[in-house]
Amino acid sequence: MKTIVGCLILIVGAACADDWPQWMGPQRDGVWREKGVRTELKDGEAKVLWRTPVKWGYAGPAVAGGKVYVPDFVDRDGDFDPRSQGGRPIEGVERILCLDAETGKELWKHEHKVTYTIAYPGGPRVTPTIHDGLLYFQGAMGHFWCLDAGSGAVKWKHDLCAKYDCRPPRWGFSSHPLVHGDLVYAAAGGEGSVLVAFDRKTGVERWKALSGEEAGYCAPLVTEFAGVSQLLFWYPSGVASLNPATGELYWEVELEPQYAISRMAPRRLGDKLFVAGAGVGAMLKLDPVKPGAEVVWRAKLTNAVLPLNSDPHLRDGVIYGVDGESSAIVAASMETGERLWSDRSATLTKDAPERARHGSAFLVHHAGHDQFWIMGEMGDLVLATLKKSGYQELGRQHLLEPTNEAWNRKVVWSHPAFALQSVFARNDRELIRVDLSEKK
């Protein structure tokens, strides 16, 4: 069976087998590989092991070395509207909380005063990256931190907007830091500095590349193809492949999304690379001999999958993902982009309007069981199979109350972590750990 598993380079030393040390898991591919996990789910059956108070945030947690790391935002006045489109500056504190994974008790916290001027100011977006005893994090306004993962002590930091004379994207910095070798990559913006590489231990700039008023929202990825490592990044002008060590541009394909929302990280299966988002999308074919790519087909609003808040999976010639316009989980052919089926039961409540937009769910594939764990925006954890033939729900349990709001709906828009045979999920009031170990 061909899957995306193994396509992305494993970041050596980043995690134990049952950790979730960064966005989308150990290999940054949304795959849970841990054994001893349940294969069925009945409402109320999975036990909540602990609950810990948190504040505003879209950022999902990271789990590494027996600790849980979660960012949040505490507004100074306590009366702000998280749906604001950025008209009024909002003062507060961005925090990173470090919790004991077994008990949920706070071990340390890092705090930084910040003034939000972004739209949807409901907290930080970025999941911390834990690697080799260090934590890397980028706040919504562009403050980049390297902390000691054990104590929270600051190792180095940058105010990226001040350093590179750029501005935050409209909806805040959302690019999850990537560690590769001795470097850590961050999104900034401006002339020649959309993507920046720092020495991960010292914070010294090693290189910068690409130009644009904004950096977009994409998380960088490294893949091995055509005999070289390629750093893939979608910014508002197009999809770019760079030399991870030097920032040299290998190739670029034009792909300009609406409102500069280049959010999805490129997904590869074999020699195919899929990238899509607000109003645009493309299936690319990679050159097997030298770094390069050509367009196989371009997406329309009525075909393929145009994701907004979560990244799709490529499996067995099919794209599975949440389409931002239809708010449905959609299956589409990798060969042509033709839609095979769609289903909204895991993305929206049953009473949602027919034309509800931007319904969201976060899809994580369990490799051993060939099942998907799906966190829906209504706060339900859903267990399902996604096949070319259709969607089959195996069970669900309500975990969290939706505490934020978007498009006149109450929502939870945060990617959970799957580790220690558990799911770690948050809203804007609490972070919980729920036991998903197989029944004895």
User: Where are the alpha helices (H) located in 320-432, listed in sequence order?
Assistant: none
Q: What is the pLDDT of residue 7?
A: 39
- For 62-119, what is each residue's pLDDT tens digit? 999 999 999 999 998 877 777 777 768 999 999 999 999 999 999 999 999 999 999 9
pLDDT at 12: 37
CB distance 56 to 64 below 8 Å: no
Tokens linked to 29: 């591919």
Domains of the chain: 31-435 (2.130.10.10)
The pLDDT tens digits of the residues spanning 94-107 come to 999 999 999 999 99
The yes-or-no verdict on residue 205 having pLDDT over 70 is yes
Percent of the chain with pLDDT over 90: 89
- pLDDT given at position 118: 95
pLDDT tens digits along 238-255: 999 999 999 999 999 999
Closest CA to 29 of 420, 418, 402: 418
What pLDDT, on the 0 to 100 scale, is given for residue 351?
87
What average pLDDT does this structure show over 294-322? 96
Confidence of residue 376 (pLDDT cuts 50, 70, 90): very high
CA-nearest of 114, 104, 33, 36 to 70 is 104
Confidence of residue 10 (pLDDT cuts 50, 70, 90): very low
In degrees, rounded to 5, the angle at the alpha carbon of residue 162 between the alpha carbons of residues 126 and 261 is: 45
Residue 304 has pLDDT above 50, yes or no: yes
- Min mean pLDDT across 299-308, 349-358, 397-406 is at 349-358
Count CA within 13 A, CB hemisphere, residue 425: 28
pLDDT for 132 equals: 98
The predicted-structure confidence for 250-273, as pLDDT tens digits, reads as follows: 999 999 999 999 999 999 999 999
Please determine, for residue 341, whether its predicted confidence score (pLDDT) is greater than 70: yes
Q: Which amino acid is at 231?
A: L
pLDDT of residue 176: 98
pLDDT above 50 for 280: yes
pLDDT recorded at residue 15: 45
At 285, the amino acid letter reads K
d(CA 363, CA 7) in angstroms, rounded, equals 18
How far out from the chain centre does Cα 431 lie? 17
Confidence at 16, pLDDT banded by 50, 70, 90: very low
Bridge partners (DSSP) of residue 419 are: 422
Mean pLDDT of 226-244: 98
- Cα 298 to Cα 87, 129, 270, 341, 383: the distances in Å are 35, 33, 18, 19, 31
The predicted pLDDT at position 6 comes to 37
Length of the chain: 440
- Other CB atoms within a 10 A radius of the CB of residue 233 amount to 27
Q: What is the identity of the amino acid at 357? A: R
CA atoms of 418 and 279, how far apart (whole Å): 31
pLDDT of 225 higher than 50: yes
Bridge partners of residue 190, in order along the sequence: 212
Confidence (pLDDT) at 394: 97
Tens digits of per-residue pLDDT, 148-199?
999 999 999 999 999 999 999 999 999 999 999 999 999 999 999 999 999 9
CB 225 within 8 A of CB 213: no
Dihedral sign from CA coordinates of 20, 25, 27, 28 = negative
The pLDDT value given to residue 13: 38
